Structure 1
Amino acid sequence: MHDEGGPAGVRRVRDLVRAWSIEGWDESAEAGGTGFEVPPATAAEVIAVVRGLVARPGEDIEAVRFAVRRESGPGGFAQLRRIAEALVVAEHPSAESWTAAEWDLAADWVAVLIARQGEDGVERLTEALSGAGA
């Protein structure tokens, strides 16, 4: 299901984002696990951190995920997932060892995080996974 660097749509998003970057694309960089500078972690650990960042006190976390998916609409959430996969999941140093189901669940939760908190959410996730946010 996932080839090196993720699904074809994710590779296209990653290539587009890299083309937009000021520094440009580093042709020598390996696909996957190259740009998200956090320590290795299991998918379950990453998902738990994301869920913790998404939840507000007293919220039902699964209800939050459902609401974000519904409010974003099918096309909108699919786009958020592609961004989440391309910029976070595919770039995680441990992603290549995750199963397809773990990859998909991580992408789902990161998409929810992006929908709720935007770039700030990704920065908080980076800090939390690095131990700086603890």
Structure 2
Amino acid sequence: MSEPKSGEQTKAVARKSAPAGAHPSTPSQGKGTRDPRATSGRLGRAIDHVSAHPLTAVAGAMAVSAGIAFLLPTTKRETEVMGEVADTLGDVARDAADGVVAAGRAQVEGLAQTALAGVGGAVLQAVTANGDTNVG
């Protein structure tokens, strides 16, 4: 029969049996437990990205905030204060968005035509090559 261990001996045994990376003063609580201060997975990658690119994170947060603000209805006070400026700004933004959509559509159409021409040429070449081998 073994003798009961003192508190200091118990801590020493826990430190020796703790998995790598566990906090030295916290004994392991079984398989699957980890240091709560450690981050992993998506959260860890997000934190690493924000640390590496803080300006990008700020710009992203501003874009999300602007999107949310755009979805909220305008108030009477906002309409009174902003008035024509808001209308003009909205028109300019709408025109810019329309221009971007038109440019994107033209780009996609050009790429689609190029791709179809490439595929069509390849099909024609394959049919011609297949026809040459069957003749004769």
TM-score normalised to structure 2 length: 0.20
Which protein shows a greater Rg? 2
TM-score normalised to structure 1 length: 0.20
